[in-house]
Each structure stands twice: as structure tokens, then as C-alpha cells.
């Protein structure tokens, strides 16, 4: 589609005129923060979203898409179709923020295991901001023309929510119009008030997997009668640290993290097996099916990602052979996230609007980020361009003090038990950013 022409100077006036009072939305945010739900289990979260959207009127609400996903459609005459997305799931994290509205929630996950739950990645801010932007854009209907689609996506943390919505017929069976442009946003451990984006690669691809190493159990006093999977795992973990340092070119960003290791339960028993959980991040462009699900296919196009995953498999197998493992290691994919690629033309257009509106607080070359997202699937599944931008959530005074002391590494990051965006100015920036994104394409010419 053609780039929007002119009138960027009008967007700020429209946003300020139609932005609703955010005081009620601050309370809505606290409510979402206090009542998070795990991936694929977002029943009450989705119900609350439906209630807030329904109270606005005019939005056509599509429920239970790909699980607990929601799409809201506002048709406003002829024009482009623009999709804004927010994710809605929490994480199995025990909150330690000390906030008066901190989550005390616990719930059973899909395996039946009770877990603490926290919005440790800021999805509560995403939900609230998109709801407020929905009201703003509804109020500003006389200023724009086209179709606005709001998607509240479940199960982002598992990397399955966007694909589940597509597979469930988001744009077919559920009748959601195909967008011309797909835009998403995320709160980050950056100074509140700041906004950033970049063309091309914005976020990394990610693969998480479980590897099971098989030994032979027995009494701790008779190690010669066993094959110890703990020793096997220890050598594998140590050697895996060399994959990035010795098998990846220094100018190719990559991360290999062994984030979990478990074997046995008693101090006097050598275990039968050990389990490792790994997370791999790379910046290869293109679509990347899970390595463990596409063995035998041509993987040469996956470049760095392929080499790392193949190196992991080679090292693990070698350590198992060296230990005389009872059988070959087993691999299971936990999740796989695609690259988050920002369409250059779309990003240039959005950057112009953001630069005009946010001024020096806008960074047009932010990142790229090692984090990962499944957001882009909402566009790439139908061949439409996507753009993903970020905004800060750290109290400005706190951020400035830590920066002055050279201690920015102490800022709580996403997925931390202490991650808690300051409500303002974070919420205002997020609402304005969502509205700005929509009006950039939908503003009447």
C-alpha cells in the first residue's frame, strides 16, 4: 500500500483531543497486574477484555480465537485496514516487587502443577494501553477512515498464541479482515517516556528444547556399577559454552543458555537420567521451523541458527558416547519463535510519525534485541508487512540515578520477579504510541 502523505503534524492534536482520562485505566492496569493468568489459561483476562470493549460500543468482538484470543473490529468507511496487537498472558514467577497491587495469584498450569503467576513481562500494560487506545480511536472516528482491528493474543510466552489464532481461522473462519499493516509494541526496562524501533531485524529467533541424557542408576557407593548422568550432563553443559565462543563468528550475535538441569532426588542414589533445558537465540532472517521437527530437511539456509543447533547435538552426543550412555540422548522442542522483522518501508513511515510526536525521546535505531516474539506471524502468515516498536517502563528518576552510578545492570528486566513498569508516564506513552500507529495509516487525507 502507499505510504501516508502529510498531516503528521495533525496527529498529536487528534491524540490529545481524544485521549480519554487515563485515571480509570490506571485502576484497570492494577487489576490486570493483580490477576495474571498463565499461557493458554487466560479465561478471566479475556472476559475482562470483552467487557471493556463491549462497553465502548461499535466494536465487533470475536472471541475464543486460537484459545482465549480476542479480535475487535471497528469499521469506519473506506480505507486501509490496520491491526494493532497486545499479548495477554502472565508467567510462572513469584512476584517480589513489593507493590500494593502485587500479584498473589497461583494457578495450575497445563500439566496440573500449581504455580505462582505474575505479569513479569508487562503484558498487563499492553492490554491496558490497547484498551485505552481503542477508546481514543473510537472517539476520533471523524478523523480517520478505514478498518481498525485490535488483537489481544494469548500464549505469547509459549510462542504458540499467534500461530494458534491463525490456525483457528483468524482471517477466515472468524471473519477478521486481513490487515494491510500489522503493528505491535512492548514495554522494556528502558527509561519511561522513551520509544524505539528499527528497520529489518528487531528481535531474535529463539529455540527452547529439553535434552534427556540416559545413564544407569544405582547406589552412590558403587559408581563403577552405574553410568552417572550427572557427570555426563556436567561435561555437556561445560562444553556447550564453547559453541558461541568458538563456532560462531564474532560479528554474528548469538546466545546459548542452559537454563535448567535436573537429575535425581536423593543424595545416595545415582540417577537414571538427567534433563537439560536450553534456550538458543540468533538473528538469522527468514522463517525458521524448529530444528528438532525438521531433521532431514535442507537446513543450510538457516546459517548461524542451523550451525548452533547442529553443534549442540554433536557435543551432547559426543559426551554421551564418552560416558558410555545406555542409549542416545532424546530431544524435545519446547518452543520456537521466528525472527521479528520490521518492514523497512513501514518502519520508515512510522518512524516519521514517532519522531514528529515524541521528539528527542524517540530512537529510530533501537536494538536489535535478544528477546523474541511470535507477533510477526499475524502478518507473515498472510504475506503482510509488520512493525514492532518498544517503549520504556522504568521510573525516570530511578533510571537516571542508576545511569549516573553506572549501575543500569541493576534495572529489573522482563521476566524478573521485580519487573514492574511505573504506571505513568508509561501508560500514556503506550496509549499515544498505539493511537499514533493507527492514525499514521488511517488518517483521512
Q: How far apart are CA 205 and CA 372, in angstroms?
A: 6
Residues 6+ apart with CB under 8 A from 359: none
Tell me, yes or no, if 156 is annotated catalytic.
yes
- pLDDT tens sequence across 209-240: 999 999 999 999 999 999 999 999 999 999 99
- Phi, psi (rounded to 5 degrees) for 253: -60, 135
Are 9 and 357 within 8 A, CB to CB?
A: no
Q: How far apart are CA 113 and CA 345, in angstroms?
A: 46
Q: Is the pLDDT of residue 331 over 90?
A: yes
Span between the terminal Cα atoms of the chain, in Å: 14
Positive or negative, the CA dihedral 422, 424, 429, 431 is: positive
The whole-number average pLDDT for the span 243-272 is: 93
Q: Using 50, 70 and 90 to split pLDDT, how confident is the model at 250?
A: confident
The whole-number average pLDDT for the span 356-368 is: 96
Domain 205-337 belongs to what topology? Alpha-Beta Plaits (3.30.70)
One DSSP character per residue, 4-48 reads P-S-HHHHHHHHHHHPPPSHHHHHHHHHHHHS---TT--HHHHHH
Residues 6+ apart with CB under 8 A from 75: 60, 147
Tell me, yes or no, if 27 is annotated catalytic.
no
- Supply 409's cell numbers: 545492570
Percent of the chain beyond pLDDT 90? 89
Q: How far apart are CA 152 and CA 87, in angstroms?
A: 6
Q: Read off the pTM.
A: 0.89
Q: How far apart are CA 386 and CA 380, in angstroms?
A: 8
Q: Is the pLDDT of residue 441 over 80?
A: yes
Q: How far apart are CA 162 and CA 155, in angstroms?
A: 8
Q: Strand, helix or coil at 156?
A: coil
Name the helix (H) or strand (E) containing 67.
none
Q: Using 50, 70 and 90 to split pLDDT, how confident is the model at 182?
A: very high
Q: Is the pLDDT of residue 121 over 80?
A: yes
Residue of 37, 42, 87, 89 with catalytic role: 89
Biggest alpha carbon distance in the chain? 81
Long-range pairs of 256-261 with CB within 8 A, sequence gap ≥ 24? 256/280, 256/308, 256/312, 261/233, 261/237
Q: What is the reported pLDDT for 305?
A: 87
Relative to beta strand 81-87, strand 181-191 is parallel
Of residues 239, 199, 200, 231, the one with CA closest to residue 215: 231
Domain 8-203+339-442 belongs to what topology? Aminopeptidase (3.40.630)
Q: Using 50, 70 and 90 to split pLDDT, how confident is the model at 297?
A: very low
Q: What is the reported pLDDT for 8?
A: 53
Residue matched to cell numbers 479475556: 46
Q: What is the reported pLDDT for 301?
A: 38
Q: Please report, for the chain, the start and end positions of each structural domain, with discontinuous segments joined by +.
A: 8-203+339-442, 205-337
Percent of the chain beyond pLDDT 70? 94
Q: Is the pLDDT of residue 183 over 70?
A: yes
Q: How far apart are CA 333 and CA 254, in angstroms?
A: 19
- Supply 160's cell numbers: 504458540
The whole-number average pLDDT for the span 286-311 is: 56
Residue of 156, 157, 190, 432 with catalytic role: 156
Average pLDDT, the chain: 93
Least confident of 79-93, 280-294, 350-364, 396-410: 280-294
Residues 6+ apart with CB under 8 A from 324: 227
Amino acid at each position: 500500500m502507499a505510504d501516508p502523505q502529510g498531516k503528521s503534524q495533525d496527529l498529536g492534536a487528534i491524540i490529545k483531543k481524544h485521549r480519554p482520562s487515563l485515571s480509570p485505566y490506571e485502576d484497570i492496569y492494577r487489576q490486570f497486574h493483580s490477576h495474571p493468568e498463565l499461557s493458554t489459561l487466560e479465561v478471566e483476562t479475556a472476559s475482562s477484555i470483552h467487557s471493556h470493549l463491549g462497553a465502548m460500543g461499535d466494536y465487533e468482538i470475536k472471541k475464543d480465537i486460537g484459545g482465549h484470543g480476542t479480535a475487535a473490529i471497528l469499521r469506519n468507511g473506506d480505507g486501509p485496514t490496520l491491526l494493532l496487537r497486545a499479548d495477554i498472558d502472565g508467567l510462572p514467577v513469584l512476584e517480589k516487587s513489593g507493590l500494593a497491587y502485587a500479584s498473589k495469584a497461583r494457578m495450575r498450569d497445563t500439566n496440573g502443577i500449581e504455580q505462582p503467576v505474575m505479569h513479569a513481562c508487562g503484558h498487563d500494560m499492553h492490554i491496558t494501553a490497547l484498551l485505552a487506545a481503542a477508546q481514543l480511536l473510537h472517539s476520533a472516528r471523524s478523523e480517520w477512515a478505514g478498518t481498525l482491528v485490535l488483537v489481544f493474543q494469548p500464549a505469547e510466552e509459549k510462542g504458540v498464541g499467534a500461530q494458534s489464532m491463525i490456525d483457528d481461522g483468524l482471517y477466515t473462519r472468524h471473519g477478521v479482515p486481513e490487515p494491510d499493516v500489522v503493528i505491535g509494541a512492548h514495554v522494556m526496562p528502558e527509561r519511561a517516556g522513551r520509544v524505539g524501533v528499527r528497520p529489518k531485524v528487531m528481535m531474535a529467533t529463539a529455540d527452547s528444547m529439553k535434552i534427556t541424557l540416559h545413564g544407569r542408576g544405582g547406589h552412590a557407593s558403587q559408581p563403577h556399577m552405574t553410568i552417572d548422568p550427572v557427570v555426563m550432563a556436567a561435561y555437556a553443559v561445560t562444553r556447550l559454552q564453547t559453541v558461541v565462543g568458538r563456532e560462531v563468528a564474532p560479528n554474528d550475535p548469538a546466545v546459548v543458555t542452559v537454563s535448567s538441569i535436573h537429575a535425581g532426588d536423593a543424595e545416595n542414589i545415582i540417577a537414571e537420567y538427567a534433563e537439560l533445558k536450553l534456550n538458543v537465540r540468533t538473528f538469522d532472517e527468514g522463517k525458521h521451523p524448529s530444528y528438532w521437527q525438521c531433521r532431514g530437511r535442507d537446513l543450510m539456509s538457516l546459517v548461524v541458527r542451523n550451525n548452533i543447533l547442529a553443534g549442540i547435538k554433536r557435543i551432547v552426543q559426543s559426551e554421551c558416547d564418552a560416558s558410555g550412555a545406555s542409549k542416545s540422548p532424546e530431544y524435545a522442542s519446547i518452543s520456537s519463535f521466528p525472527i521479528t522483522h520490521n518492514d523497512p518501508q513501514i518502519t520508515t513511515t512510522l518512524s516519521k510519525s514517532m519522531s514528529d510526536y515524541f521528539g528527542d525521546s524517540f530512537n529510530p535505531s533501537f536494538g536489535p534485541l535478544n528477546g523474541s516474539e511470535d507477533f510477526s506471524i499475524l502478518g507473515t502468515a498472510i504475506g503482510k508487512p509488520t512493525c514492532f516498536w518498544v517503549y520504556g517502563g522504568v521510573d525516570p528518576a530511578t533510571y537516571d540515578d542508576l545511569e549516573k552510578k553506572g549501575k543500569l545492570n541493576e534495572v529489573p528486566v522482563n521476566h524478573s520477579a521485580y519487573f514492574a513498569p511505573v504506571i505513568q508516564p508509561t501508560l500514556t506513552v503506550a496509549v499515544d504510541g498505539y493511537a499514533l500507529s493507527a492514525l499514521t495509516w488511517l488518517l483521512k487525507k
